[in-house]
Amino acid sequence: MIVYEPPRAAERIAQVDLTGSFDVLAEQARVAQEIHRALRETGFFYVTGHGVPQPLLDAQIAQTRAFFAQDEAAKARVSIEHSPARRGYETTGRQVLDAGSAADFKESFMLARDLPANHPWVVAGLPMQGPNQWPEGLPGFREQVEAWQAAMIRLGRHLMACLALSVDLSPAWFADGLAEPQVGVRLLSYPPQPQDAEANLLGAGAHTDWGSITILLQDDMAGLEVRNADGEWILATPIPGSFVINVGQMMERFTGGLYKANLHRVRNNHGTRARNSVATFFELEPLYRMEVAPTCKAGADAGPARTIGEHLEDMARASYAA
């Protein structure tokens, strides 16, 4: 358990402007250098100039709020308990991200790529692969989520190219794992935090993400706290129109520990308003075997290579068992 202490205001959090980098190689190289510096110094960064239209961002937050505003019976109809692929609604207290702390004080709704029964991954019985559950009575919800996933695939592929370039590899390094990327979308609602709650009751306990990269859309409320490379907890204050990006455990493995999967947590200190966010977990294909990059091997001891799917399944089991 990581005992909660209030964070301080950040002196500097990198903002990486992606403008031009989708089409101009020199701009992509600039972005790669800025990402490298940010991940070594603070472990996370904001991106702007990403090309995702503001109306799509606004609509995604609106649909997230609409989902959680439903009554409990409506949300229970799409409970994660009904889904072998772990898609659906989770009420508060369902997950423990910081072992030893209280269960996370959040509601969530998990979606991913909606796969039919005859998809090869489903036929093979790969964990967490299958159909989504879609709520009824929310006009435009499915269309918005699928438009969101399409935008995240474009952005995620680009960020993976920049990450490869940031460790002196070809931007096409991950191409054989990106034909059908995994795009997990978790809608999140953090209720107002009781001020008299036990010290370690958090919306999301301190944890590192499991996979490759996380693309986070925040509403206008603060609450995300990140531990930087100096071990200090700092606030990641929302910046309108931006995403917060951090790397997960598989990217730490890929770089031989050069980039760290940094600890982060959430605490909603507002007394009356819920905080909403949308976390997109952009992953390589489940059978992709993550090796240490040839440019990062010096001093690296990452053990035998594992597939993305194997690692994510092990981490999910541990998180929900806790």
Instruction: For 214-266, write each residue's pLDDT tens digit.
Output: 999 999 998 999 988 778 888 899 999 999 999 999 999 999 999 989 898 99
Query: What is the band of 167 on the pLDDT scale with cuts at 50, 70, 90?
Result: very high
Q: What is the DSSP letter of 82?
A: G
Those residues whose C-beta lies under 8 Å from the C-beta of residue 72, and which sit 6 or more positions away, are none
CATH number corresponding to 15-321:
2.60.120.330
* Mean per-residue pLDDT, 36-61: 94
Helices and strands, number each (H, E), in the chain: 7, 14
Which pair of tokens denotes residue 285? 């294909």
In the numeric block, the tokens 């990641």 are attached to: 236
Signed CA dihedral, 298, 300, 303, 308: sign only: negative
Number of Cβ atoms within 10 Å of the Cβ of 218:
24
Condensed to tens digits (0 to 9), the pLDDT of residues 289-318 reads 999 999 997 655 656 778 988 888 888 777
* Mean per-residue pLDDT, 79-83: 95
Condensed to tens digits (0 to 9), the pLDDT of residues 121-151 reads 999 999 999 999 999 999 999 999 999 999 9
pTM above 0.75, yes or no: yes
